[in-house]
Structure 1
Amino acid sequence: HGWALPPARSRTRALIDASLAERGIEPVVTLTSQNPDVLRQVAAVGLALTVLPAAVGGNDPSLRDVLGEAVALRPLTMMRRESAPDDARVAALGRLARDMVRLTGAAPPAP
């Protein structure tokens, strides 16, 4: 099977390529798309293998997890405008993110 992956110059693709290379996998890419739903659909009908966020592919009964583990973790940054007023919801989200880092053992962001 060929692979359906994000475009070659995207950050997501770089993370996927590096992770697959660590596992000795050299994908032959036959289709690229920025849209994860397109990648999911191509894999669901059996035209290609793909790597998807769990939120996109995890509940699709026509797909199965081949590796049984996360292929890549993508760093996210929480930002807001400097002059924005304090917001309890933003503070709560920040606490939740820090708690998840502690609970999962994920590396905290560099200062």
Structure 2
Amino acid sequence: MVEEVVNPNNKSTKNKTARPRPVYLWNVLDVQKWLRRHCSDYYQLYHEKFLFHDITGRVLLRINENILLRLGIINEEHRMDIWREIMKLHLKTDILEIRDIERKNNSNDD
């Protein structure tokens, strides 16, 4: 999820320093990419459940272990592994938000 930037020569390039799109703006396909990348061992088993329930980024951030169970992820080990990846995503999201707040506060101090 790297933003595309047009350079002065009108050629499209990938900006590697661009901040990824916030999770709460992810659509169903973004969540599928995340699931495939971070839960690859379980992707084939559960990607259709995520699709069927239209799991977006906003929903993903609200998922807990009980919801995973209700989605049909019965195997406790699978459920805990997916839950762990969701919690890592929470942490990354929180860190980015804290950095944005700090950056904003520092620019206001100038």
Q: TM-score range by the shorter chain?
A: 0.3 to 0.5
TM-score in terms of structure 2 length = 0.35
| Greater per-residue strand proportion | 1
TM-score in terms of structure 1 length = 0.35
